[in-house]
Chains A and B, each alone.
Chain A
Amino acid sequence: MASERTSLSRSPETEPVEADDGAPALPERRPAEQMRDLLPAIETDRRLDDWGRSERVEGAFDRTLAEFFYRYWFRVEVEGIENVPSEGGTLLVSNHSGALPPDAMMIAKAIRDEHRAPRPLYLTVEHFFKGYPGFSMLLPKLGGVAAHPANVHRLLFDEQRLVLVFPEGRKGTEKLYKDRYKLRRFGRGGFVEAAMAAEAKLVPVCVVGAEEAMPVFAQADLLKRLTGLIYFPITPTFPWLGPLGILGYLPAKFKIRFLEPIDTVALGGPEARHDRALVQMTAQEIRARIQENLHEMVARRRSVWLG
């Protein structure tokens, strides 16, 4: 019944069969660049992409919550948006602050609203979120992708996307208020390796304000274990106001600064990723640049709330 298009209707003559000359050539796997052409075509009828990102959910989120926080609550100021390339695989590297930080949401909104050729931003998130009910459903819809090296490579290299990474990772979100604007270590520089492998550009990003928007006073270890979360912050509103208290941000003034891009091809390209010293040095350098800019931005800030 459903076999109108079976092989029976195909004429056997047109089937390319290897030549009979005795030594058929093995098909070579095509070089990686050409594999790009074989990516699935975009189906215009769909409202989700292959990563599970939903135009509809993201749009609704952007028009309401993100808009409110961006314009009126945090009054975000953006510098150096022109440093974000409008095409090619690009990895944004940002500092991270505690609890459920609004920094990713604000960076995405900044690119969407201020950039002259905005493109969707993919955000790398902990694998943990994929396994936690609720988060698992919502985060991919908003552009969250599990921080697996293969995912980052496909996004940066094959799909030439814009990706945001927080190299401090969980160490950043566990950070307490007293440690604000002190960058944690950048792991083993995995993000530099990923960018090199994908021949992507690296754009360091500094965010000021997120630390004060949700100060974390303590981490409740027992509650963390009871709820199965990766961390359980005590903030002015969480857990006192219930789960929604996690969105109880204080109205700090936000400043986002995009620094000049670093071209990983100039650093040596895909081969250089095996050079541990170079990778580590580049990661350190990026960290130092972000830290330096953060200090400068905090030093010039007259008021936490007014900027």
Chain B
Amino acid sequence: MAGLSAPSEARRVLITGLSTYWGGRLAQALEAFEQVEVIIGVDSSEPTRELARTEFVKVSNQHSLLRRIVRAAEVDTVIDTRLVVNSVNATAREAHENNVIGTLNILAACAGRDSPVRRYVFKSSAHYYGSEQDDPAFFTEEMRRSRAPRTLLERDIVEAEAAVEDFAQKNRDVDVTVLRFANVLGADVETAFTRLFSLPLVPMVLGFDPRVQFIHEDDVVHALEHAAFRRIPGVYNAGADGVLALSEAISLVDKRPLPILPPWGAGAIAAPLRRIGMRIPDELGNLLRFGRGIDNRHLKATGFEYGYTSRETVLKLAEHLRLYPVMRGREQAYTYEREVEEFLRWSPHVRRRPERDDGVAADREVLGI
């Protein structure tokens, strides 16, 4: 058991998908922890959030050269936040490339006898379970979906998870944690549901009122962080407490439901709706009829506490939706410029914040020198 002699806490962390919302948020969060010596972020595009000490390395979409980065930096913890779980954010082709091929390459980079990686955290989605008529009301982690995936996105997620499971079997000395997140809502994140809730009238399927469960964007970051610092191998569902009826959620965001989608053959009406600006993502097709709930108790049993319930998550979004027309355009978007970032990180002329354990520097700061 080589794993036991290795340091068990995350000291040298590699985050994939740094430029996605989750990668950026997680990197910002980890920067606050002093025991994390190194934070490396990789992605195929440039970071979208301002980072202080995270090092960004641009890699190709397929993450094929990751192995060299992992070995060179002796990365002990890999946090894979890159999975595309919303078809609003990427085309099917990009999503497939990223979700399946990307996952395989990242796993390959972490595998092997001489690999320094001891912990691998994979951000997955409750879309893994699908949404079908004969599903249980609450999925637990050991359950599988009752029918084969129907949409490309779901197929990719199942395939990616299968690859992760296979990796966990073959690399027993690596702690593999998979987190399956419920539908995320929040002010800064764009998902199929936030889009749906920002429409003036929220389309529903006629004669159905599905049960839906959400998780707040902050809780997603906390859960990833929780998994990075604890030894909790296994699969965990992450969804806030409470399952709402869709009509209940719609009234919480002060919107009106519009039961416009026919129960059968929703594809026929999807095209005209798309033309007037109501795009209903494929993976929501079944969810809007049958809904889904997940059992979140195993993650709670590891000591994780959710900051918001499903209801509070929706209320938070409602606040944001009311504030948005006023706040729009106030905040300046961050743009990454390599030269500036490199100057800030490596130039000897930059006065860096004193290290905590460096007593002299800290005193100087206090005296204002």
Q: Are B138 and A150 in contact (CB under 8 A)?
A: yes
1/0 contact trace for A1-29 toward B, CB 8 Å? 11101111010100111101011101101
Q: Residue of A at shortest CB range from B140? A: A150
Contacts A3-B218, A38-B300, A50-B243 known; A133 to B29 CB distance under 8 Å? Answer: no
Q: Residue of B at shortest CB range from A128? A: B133
Q: Are A22 and B5 in contact (CB under 8 A)?
A: yes
Contacts A1-B187, A6-B29, A18-B230 known; A148 to B136 CB distance under 8 Å? Answer: yes
Please tell me the size bucket of the interface on A: 35 or more
Q: Are A35 and B301 in contact (CB under 8 A)?
A: yes
Q: Are A26 and B233 in contact (CB under 8 A)?
A: yes
* Number of B interface residues in the complex (CB < 8 A): 64
**B316's contact among A2, A17, A38, A40, by CB below 8 Å, is which?**
A2
**B136's contact among A17, A134, A151, by CB below 8 Å, is which?**
A151
1/0 contact trace for A53-77 toward B, CB 8 Å? 0100000000000000000000000
Contacts A7-B32, A148-B134 known; A1 to B301 CB distance under 8 Å? Answer: no
B contact residues around A302 at 8 Å (CB): none
B contact residues around A24 at 8 Å (CB): 8, 231
Q: Are B4 and A27 in contact (CB under 8 A)?
A: no
**Residue of A40, A47, A146 contacting most chain B CB atoms (<10 Å):** A40
A contact residues around B282 at 8 Å (CB): none
A39 at the binding interface (Cβ < 8 Å): yes
Q: Are A150 and B298 in contact (CB under 8 A)?
A: no
Q: Are A12 and B136 in contact (CB under 8 A)?
A: no
Min Cβ gap A192→B in Å is 20
Q: Are B297 and A136 in contact (CB under 8 A)?
A: no
Q: Which of B295-320 contact A (CB under 8 A)?
A: 295-298, 300-303, 307, 309, 311, 316, 320
A contact residues around B296 at 8 Å (CB): 40
**Residue of A16, A54, A130 contacting most chain B CB atoms (<10 Å):** A130
Q: Residue of B at shortest CB range from A12? A: B33
**B263's contact among A12, A27, A133, by CB below 8 Å, is which?**
A133
A contact residues around B289 at 8 Å (CB): 131, 136
List the one stretch of B78-86, B90-98, B205-213 in contact with chain A: B205-213
1/0 contact trace for A136-155 toward B, CB 8 Å? 11001100011011110010
Min Cβ gap B205→A in Å is 8
Q: Are B207 and A2 in contact (CB under 8 A)?
A: no
A52 at the binding interface (Cβ < 8 Å): yes
A116 at the binding interface (Cβ < 8 Å): no
Contacts A17-B35, A52-B209, A140-B211 known; A1 to B290 CB distance under 8 Å? Answer: no
Q: Are B241 and A40 in contact (CB under 8 A)?
A: yes
Contacts A12-B35, A48-B248 known; A23 to B4 CB distance under 8 Å? Answer: yes
| Docked complex Cα distance between A6 and B220 (Å) | 11
Q: Are B245 and A17 in contact (CB under 8 A)?
A: no
Contacts A1-B331, A2-B217 known; A48 to B134 CB distance under 8 Å? Answer: no
Q: Are B297 and A133 in contact (CB under 8 A)?
A: no
A33 at the binding interface (Cβ < 8 Å): no
Min Cβ gap A53→B in Å is 10
A295 at the binding interface (Cβ < 8 Å): no
Min Cβ gap B178→A in Å is 15
| Docked complex Cα distance between A151 and B140 (Å) | 11
Q: Are A2 and B188 in contact (CB under 8 A)?
A: yes
B13 at the binding interface (Cβ < 8 Å): no
Chain A residues proximal to chain B, CB less than 8 Å: 1-3, 5-8, 10, 12, 15-18, 20, 22-24, 26-27, 29-30, 34-35, 38-41, 43, 45-48, 50-52, 54, 127-128, 130-137, 140-141, 145-146, 148-151, 154
Q: A29-B301, A40-B241, A40-B309 are in contact. List 12 more A-B contacts (CB 8 A).
A: A2-B186, A3-B188, A6-B29, A8-B28, A16-B303, A22-B8, A35-B298, A39-B297, A130-B134, A136-B289, A145-B137, A151-B137
Shortest beta-carbon contacts, A-B, top 6 = A133-B207, A40-B241, A150-B136, A2-B187, A131-B133, A7-B29
